[in-house]
Structure 1
Amino acid sequence: MKRLRTLVLLILMFVPSALTWAEEPKLPAEDLASLVDTAITNNPELKSSQARWQMFRNRIAQARSFDDPMLMLKLQNGLVNSPFNFRRDSMTQKVIGLSQQIPFWGKRGLKEEVAANDAESYRWQVDERRLELARMVKETYYQIFFADRSLEIVAKNIRILDDFITLAETKYAVGQGAQQDIFKSQVERSKMLDMKISLEQERKSLVAALNALLYRSPETAVGRIPDFEIQPLPLSARDLRETALKKRPMIKSLQALIDKGEAGRRLARKEFYPDFNVSLEYMQREPAMGSDGADMYSLGVTFNLPVRRERRHAMVAESNSEISMATEELNGLRNTIDSGISDLLAKLEKREKLVMLFKTGIIPQAEQSLESATIGYRVNKVDFLSLLDSRVTLFNYERELYESQAEYMMGLAQLEALVGTDPAMPQTGPGKVPTIVPPVPSEPEH
């Protein structure tokens, strides 16, 4: 009786905690679009890129501005032996002057164009960073999806193996089975537990990576990733390449660098012409030595002599090299896009076919095979190794199904980053296709 009371007390102690555990609310399913928006809003690297763009954007107004005018105050022709006596000599003057540096015609506009194209390049790099960040979030999202489904499959297989153990123990108890079958099923169950531990650790790492992209606490829980159906792409490889030329931010960024180099080359050629300095001086005099002390003024223009032509030729050559560099980078990017689209489309086609094959053929057949093997083992027509083999085959195929689904969606995310927009959405409207500028000669015209 005493032992019974102790047992009842222990049960009552654990019942509240068990009820609390059972009543813990499940996390809501994650929404991919919301996660991407959060990353774009919070990610510090993206904010840094935006600040860099604003920094270069603020240089445009600086580039088009004139230099500050110069104010001059001086005493002219003063006498050393009487430095502050302005009436002893009629040439002693108090002078106030104003001068302004004026660049040669067109230089300010070209400097503004250079700065504007530089800022434009960084602007498109911000958009490129957004695409890259969205790709990373989506890839991590679908990796978590695969980890979650793998854990579900493992849990289902542990339950199946528990049934196998019970079945093997029952047959062994009545003398129809071997004890070795029990041990084999227990070993298989332990393997599943080992895989479960690895998958749980992998999911925690993926959750930490996703939280880092979203710039939130690494311990922030991530809910279940909902199921989805893959959709075939509506665009061909040719359509995707044309879309990339219109939409890919990095192409526009490199085109802006080419435009910057061309403006810089025109500016370098302007350096062969002088800049001007216009000055106006007013000289106030006092009556002295019979002079009425009439005030005077001075108006003048000075300009530099652009005789250091070697330096100016080097400036033109520098701009030519900048154009060539950006042009070849653009050509290389186009080549990468072309090959990347072909490669990703081939991988997507493979994954799409595998998903259909697993869903409509392989997995239903594997399920029937396992069911048949289970029935056969019960009536001693199938050995235990065949039963385990059927279970392993179904387990592997189910994992490959979810892996193919996840890989397909990750391939779509990579294709979106490569093209510059969602490839699953039909593209309409005109767009500017950047012109590929051939490399310029290194020798300047002057």
Structure 2
Amino acid sequence: MSVFPRYAGVLIALLATSLALASAVQPARSQTPRLEALVAEALDRSPALQAARQRRAAAEHRRPQAASYPDPTLSYTRWLSAPETRVGPQRNVLAFGQTIPYPGKRSLRGDMSGEEAAVETAVIQSIARDIAYEVKSVYYDLYRVDRSLRILEDYLVLLETFTAAAEEKYATGSGSQADVLKSHVEASEIVKQRITLEGERSALAARLNGVLSRPSDSPVDPVASIDTTRYAQPESMVVEQALAVRQELDAADARIRRNELGVRLAHLASRPDFMVQGSYITVPKIGDHPASDAGKDAFGVMLSVNMPVFRSRTRAEVQEAMARVEESRHARQRIRDAVTAEVAGAYGQLSHSGRALDVYEQGLIVQAESSVLATLAAYQTGQMDFLNLLDAERMVLRTRLGYVAETANYRKYLSQLERAAGGSLP
């Protein structure tokens, strides 16, 4: 019985593999709506984001506290040994006082608290940006794993066909038992790879559920395809946007403004605060007091100021505040340098990944297909052994898996660049 019908089946399976490989290099249908839904869910459910919003609310409530007047004072005095006056003894003294800070102090304290709220607003935006990046990173890793599992399944089906062909050749005396054993070993290796990927997928699913604040065992649907659009804007545009909108820089600017207000407030420490107090004094009438206004209650007004005469203390306050301004400016420069470096690093990784994809799409995939077809033809005519056929098919498998991994890496690098630019790209 001829074995060529069986080889025809092998060829059909191989052609199916080539068609699947060809479809893998076509631009995938965009899954942006689903990905955006996951990002929106993560932002809506994130405990970290909710905690940050509460911190901002707390900071906003500090502003009216900082800008308010000090609480007034109310005092009552009952003389146990009443002092005698011309109109009679004083018995009770009721006093009401209010401290009035030097003009400008209250508003400066309020403005400083307002800048603290601005810092918290920038923190909220940075947390939201990082959550979006985390969701995208896991999503693209899931695509890599799910797509790789599908490729391994297809390869196992092809190996079954190869094994059947090798067994038939061995049965007819034109092949060796070693070819059959090699095919079984190859299948076992693929099963091992599949188990590893399944374990990785479980970890990724748990990680995504954690970001989404879901139960860790919640099911996560397979990611069949992703957007494969390439990014073409120059690095300079990304750097320009990052320096304009990056949240850490916004927070640093708010800290600089707060500390500059602190310098102005420190200068006012040498200005006095005022205390205004009104008093009501009861004077009872005792017997036949000779004074015509005997027993008449008294009223009094007192104005006092503190005296900031210790200039060494106030000068130290100013110097401390100025040092904080310089520290915050240096901190901003450090953040600026880090942002620029982060953009450059992410853009470089994205560019290298894009060039790697070009290698796959412009030659490597077609070359791998051609190689395995030529090897199959040589094997059918006895010019090539079974091991060479397996090696050729392994090369196709590595090419497919490598292309899928590089496609996922490209999207992850693009997400890193989005994060470095402040959450979106120009």
What whole-Å deviation, never above 9, does each CA across 1:151-205 have from its counterpart, x for those lacking one? 1111111112111111111111111111111111111110100000000000000
Alignment of 1:126-275 (within 5 A): 126-275=124-273
1:365 alignment partner in structure 2? 367
| SS of alignment partner, residue 423 of structure 2 | coil
Tell me the residue number matched to 2:51. Answer: 48
3-state SS of the aligned residue for 2:77? strand
TM-score with structure 2 length normalisation? 0.87
For residue 412 of structure 1, the aligned residue among 411, 414, 418 is: 414
Whole-angstrom distance in 2 between the partners of 1:79 and 1:122: 57
In the alignment, which residue of structure 2 is the partner of 1:335?
A: 337
Aligned residue for 2:301, secondary structure, equals: strand
Q: Is the 8 A contact 1:77 1:91 kept in 2?
A: no
What's 2:378 paired with? 376
In the TM superposition, what whole-angstrom CA distance separates every residue of 1:401-439 from its partner, at most 9, and x where no partner exists?
11111111111111111111321xx4xxxxxxxxxxxxx
Local SS of the residue matching 2:270: coil
Report the residue type matching 2:408 in the other structure: A
Aligned to 2:318: 316
State the AA in 2 paired with 1:375.
A
1:302 to 301, 304, 323: 304
Contact residue 243 and residue 339 of structure 2 kept, 8 A: no
**For residues 205 and 273 of structure 1, what CA distance do their matches in structure 2 show?**
63
Residue aligning to 1:66: 69
Amino acid of the structure 2 residue aligned with 1:290: P
- Pairwise CA RMSD of aligned residues? 2.0
In structure 1, runs of 5+ residues without a counterpart are 1-28, 81-85, 427-446
Distance 1:206 1:189, change over 3 A: same
Greater mean alpha carbon deviation, residues 360-369 or residues 395-404? 360-369
Secondary structure of the structure 2 residue equivalent to 1:150? helix
What is the DSSP-based 3-state SS (H/G/I as helix, E as strand, rest coil) of the residue aligned with 1:224? coil
Residues of 1 paired with 2:266 and 2:82: CA distance? 48
Aligned residue pairs total 391
Letter in 2 for 1:146: R
1:313 Cα deviation after fit? 2.9
Three-state SS of the structure 2 residue aligned to 1:271 is helix
More off after superposition, 284-293 vs 59-68: 284-293
Q: Distance in 1 between matches of 2:207 and 2:311?
A: 56
Deviations 1:60-100 (A, max 9, x none): 110111111111222247449xxxxx999803232222100
Q: Structure 1 CA distance, aligned partners of 2:73 and 2:143? A: 68
Q: Which residue is 1:10 aligned to?
A: none
Residue identity (%): 28
The CA deviation at 1:344 is 1.8
Matches of 1:126 and 1:404 in 2, distance apart? 32
Question: 1:242 offset after TM fit, Å?
Answer: 1.5
SS at match of 2:202: helix
- The answer to whether the 8 Å contact 2:146/2:224 transfers is no
Structure 2 alignment gaps of length 5 or more = 1-30
Higher helix share: 2
Tell me which amino acid in the other structure corresponds to 1:106.
G
- 1:441 corresponds in structure 2 to none
Give the structure-1-normalised TM-score: 0.84
Amino acid at match of 2:47: P
The residue identity in structure 2 corresponding to 1:319 is A
Counterpart residue number, 2:290: 290
The structure 1 residue matched to 2:38, chosen from 35, 38, 41, is 35
